[in-house]
Amino acid sequence: MKSMNFMNKFNTINNSGFTLMEVLVAMVILTVGLLGMAALITGIINSNKLSNRMSVATVVAQDKMEDIKRIGYADAEAGTEPYGGADFPLYKRVTDVASGSPASGMKTITVTVSWDADAHSVELKTIIADIEE
């Protein structure tokens, strides 16, 4: 009779906790959730980096556009320049000037700023006219 009483106490104690299988399933579910969150965070960080680089490239292109508008129609010329220095070492700025486009006495100015070995770029266009003509 004593052995039966011991078995009842053992079964009662054993049923009050978690089984090894329940713990393993909970750990797998938690791991899958945490790995999903890590992938999400990595994607967010990469998107923020791309957004930052696009913003910088847009400012660099706008800076060149303002220079071209300031110097005027006669002095606007095409060219390629590494836009670097300490602040922006990985950007390249290309200025293209199409004379007579869209009409005579006008120039279409295209400024393209690229980075990551030209894998990404921002392009701005404007038209300037010869007001003396």
Q: Which residues make Cβ contacts (< 8 Å) with residue 127, sequence separation at least 6? A: 101, 102, 106, 107, 108, 109
What are the structure tokens assigned to 66, written together? 């303002």
Closest CA to 72 of 16, 13, 128: 128
Residue 9 host element (H or E): helix 2-15
pLDDT in tens, 13-41: 556 678 899 999 999 999 999 999 999 99
Give pLDDT, residue 17. 75
Domain that holds residue 94: 2-129
Q: Give the bridge partners for 34, in sequence order.
A: none
Mean pLDDT of the chain: 85
Q: Which residues make Cβ contacts (< 8 Å) with residue 116, sequence separation at least 6? A: 53, 90
Question: Considering the entire predicted model, what is its pTM?
Answer: 0.70
Give pLDDT, residue 117. 82
Give pLDDT, residue 85. 59
Domain tally for the chain? 1
**Which carries the bigger pLDDT value, residue 122 or residue 88?**
122
pLDDT band at 95 (very low <50, low <70, confident <90, very high): very high
Give pLDDT, residue 89. 76
Backbone angles phi, psi at 113, to 5 degrees: -115, 125
- Give the N- to C-terminal CA distance of the chain in Å, as an integer: 117
